[in-house]
Structure 1
Amino acid sequence: MTAKAGEVTAVMGTNGVGKTSLLRAISGRHPYAGGTVMVGGTALDHPSPFGAARAGIAYVPQGREVFPMMTVAENLETGFACLPKDQHHVPDQIFDLFPVLHDMIDRRGGDLSGGQQQQLAIARALITKPRVLLLDEPTEGIQPNIIQQIGKVIRILCEQGDMAIVLVEQFFDFAFDLGSDFYVMSRGEVVFNKREDVLTREELYAQVLV
């Protein structure tokens, strides 16, 4: 699988086919027996989560993993860990993308709604200035207006052209609207791959349901 900067690479398939395991392996959270993870032509030899983050891979997990007792500001600051000290600040762009986080900067993460926590989790990942952003089910349990906001943020990040986004998503229409390159998995393997310009909605839908 190849994910290009400035694009959304959508990984799809039914439950249990290995989509989350794939993202966890890429991000250093899950061991893998074969294959190579490469960022910008540089191979990462079974990296730790910290090593993957230092290499430019940011992971927004299913379930968000926001620190509930820490404030929004403190949650964002955990993204500093893989950055040099002179970059330990929250860029203005974070609050441009997610204005609600500025309004709730002193609120505890556990007091935020599910949609607000999802925005916080994505913002925290962006703090690390990733070259690759891995998103695992970002719309799960989120109200429709927040889903629209997250979709808008993903489009803005793509337009900037310096980040590859890998999206695992069960919400078919969300993934189809955003994706440039589509991969379908079954039993731990990629069984289908086509780009948006030669793919119809009906063809992808049929593959996902197999």
Structure 2
Amino acid sequence: MSALRCVGVDAGYAKKSPCVRGIDLTVQRGEIIALLGPNGAGKTTLLMTLAGLLPRLGGEVFVDDSATSSGNPRAAVRAGVVLVPDDRALFRNLTTAQHLKLAAPRRKSAAAPAIQQALGYFPALTRRLDVAAGDLSGGEQQMLAIARALLQRPRVLLIDELSMGLAPIIVESILPVLRTVAEQDGTAVILVEQHVRLALAVADQAVVLAHGEVALTEAAGVLAADLPRLESAYLGS
């Protein structure tokens, strides 16, 4: 059973002119897909549509073979689809601990172990629990955004531009966490990332969007060894 399956998905902001067209995409449990492509290819639009923040203009999306609602972010979260947006969507005045408590299970007996598990992925946050999100470094903010998402126990984790504003060395420290989460929890991950080599190193599959359509789907390792082919796909050729 696939974790997420898109069939002929059209997405965008005007019904008569979708900027993402005919997307067929399948992500298995425990699989990481690197969603690549040039700026304006439609990567963020697709993630926002999968997360219910934009209504689909066509096609169907299935999570664990169950059809999902269109344009309903709460329903998407209930189905297990959780988005970490490129701006991280943190509350600047809330502390790290407060963010984690808000996302944790409501039952007190389950909340504390869940928070400890999330902090286990990002030990650096344990020293910053009383620090407001606005005072965290960019890397710490990204760690907090992902930890908060993991507390929602996603079946499908969507991460948009993980490396936005971060040094590559910070990105290299965060990406292995996604591999661990995928392998240990069976979480399916779709990762939008401009650091192509880093994304391909952690991913199982790569999907390249160009001009709003899938230009190439290939095993990440194969594509990493054939960068001219990747460059050609970026151009939509």
CA RMSD of aligned residues (A): 1.7
Partner residue of 1:94 out of 115, 118, 128: 118
Structure 2 SS opposite 1:35: strand
Match of 1:35 in 2: 59
Tell me the equivalent position of 1:201: 226
Structure 2: any 5+ residue segments left out of the alignment?
A: 1-24
Secondary structure of residue in 1 paired with 2:58: coil
Of the three residues 179, 191, 206, the one matched with 1:155 is: 179
Higher relative contact order (CA 8 A, sep 6+): 1
Q: Is the 8 A contact 1:18 1:187 kept in 2?
A: yes
Partner of 1:9: 33
Residue of structure 1 aligned with 2:206, choices 182, 185, 191 = 182
Inter-CA distance 197–99: structure 2 relative to 1 (3 Å threshold) = closer
Greater displacement, 58-67 / 142-151: 142-151
User: CA–CA distance in 2 between the matches of 1:102 and 1:31?
Assistant: 38
What's the offset of the Cα at 1:206? 2.8
Name the count of aligned residue pairs.
208
Question: What residue number does 1:142 align with?
Answer: 166
Of 10, 22, 34, the residue aligned with 2:46 is: 22
Alpha-carbon distance in 2 for matches of 1:161, 1:92: 15
1:176–1:201 contact (8 Å) kept in structure 2 = no
What letter corresponds to residue 85 of structure 1 in structure 2? R
Q: Is the 8 A contact 2:156 2:188 kept in 1?
A: yes
TM-score, normalised by the number of residues in structure 1 = 0.92
- Show CA shifts across 1:70-116 (max 9, x none): 01011122324xx5536444432211110111111111010101111
* Shift, 1:19, TM fit: 0.3
Structure 1 runs not aligned, ≥5 long:
none
Q: CA deviation at 1:150?
A: 0.7
Matched-pair identity in %:
38
Does 2:58 match 1:58? no
Q: Which has the higher strand share?
A: 2
